[in-house]
A = this chain, B = another copy of it.
Amino acid sequence: MPGKAMIGTAPSEAVASALLGARVTVTGGLGFIGSSLARRLATLGSDVLVLDSRLPGSGANPFNLHGVTGRVRVETCDIRDEAALRQHLKGCDYLFNLAAQTSHQGSMDDPMLDVDINCRAQLGLVEVCRTASPKVNMVFASTRQIYGRPDYRPVDEKHPIRPVDVNGINKHAGEEFHRLYHEVYGMRCCSLRLTNTYGPRMRIMDARQTFVGIWLRHVIEGRPFEVWGGSQLRDFTFVDDAVNAFLLAAVSDATAGRAFNIGGCDVVSLRRLAELLIEANGGGCFKIREFPAELQRIDIGDYYSDDKLFREVTSWAPRVGLGDGLARSLAYFREHLPQYV
């Protein structure tokens, strides 16, 4: 079914024409999703500026922009630095706002870092945009974590917001600042509530972004990996599908002031995901381990998204299934492993 959403390899006309020559900034642009977005934008002919703090423990990896460095400007800039943001964002047409502290347990271990990056700096950013580039079109990377333990599944946008960790509270506040600046000042801001996103260029040296990263690494290194629990249901978005969602959210007239769930092609248990990974790799093994008690208190249990709203508004649809996506991820990391461990 070709249409507006078919922008995987052949970008939709709306996306291509809006972004060709546009001044586009990606915060967190050395990270997993940010760099994937920056690469696509370069291909689309945008004037791309990547801002990244390069903080230790974050997803920042300069190798993520390997091959496009001539077409993407990169500045070391922490989004907590409002003066630097003001300088960089003047005259910006599109802003993809992906800079974040993404670890849930990390937000409990160092809550003040999480509030500074995911909440305070987000307010600083929309405030800078209000004065320095009020016509900018912003897309904020939010998270399914804001819902907490679901009352029902699939989880739609009407589900109560009841975060189970500091990260969820701060990400929700960050999202709310974007909504408010649309409602009060008419700015074009929207939020995408991402679920587990995976693919080439993700952080695989540890589990700070998601457990999928560390699984990929172990499988490639020929070591068994651990599945905590195993029965939890989750959905997974391949990074190219997430990138498409960001592009469509940015160019659509109907997204401003709103927040949308982004899901994926498949809902599977973690045990099934582990099996699929081993199938895609042509071998490997894992062991099931009891879910650690100390993480239980901030665990959300089963989760998968209802992303109908975003599909209706933008004609987006995820297109890369888990088998294919895992195979592509393995191929990428097998080729570039030393750059990621």
User: CB within 8 Å of B: which residues of A?
Assistant: 82, 108, 111-112, 115-116, 119-120, 123-124, 127, 161, 163-166, 169-170, 172-173, 176-177, 180, 183-184, 297-298
Contact = CB atoms under 8 A, between A and B. Distances in A.
A3 B169 CA distance: 38
28 contacts: A82-B112, A108-B184, A111-B123, A111-B127, A112-B124, A115-B119, A115-B120, A116-B120, A119-B119, A119-B120, A120-B120, A123-B166, A161-B161, A163-B176, A164-B180, A164-B183, A164-B184, A165-B180, A165-B184, A166-B177, A166-B180, A169-B177, A169-B180, A172-B173, A172-B176, A173-B173, A183-B297, A184-B297
Number of copies: 2
Contacts of A116: 120
Contacts of A183: 164, 297
A170 B111 CA distance: 16
A20 to B, nearest CB: 34
A-B pairs, 10 with minimum CB distance: A173-B173, A169-B176, A115-B123, A184-B297, A115-B120, A111-B123, A111-B127, A169-B173, A120-B120, A119-B119
A165 B177 CA distance: 9
Contacts of A180: 163-166, 169
Contacts of A163: 176, 180
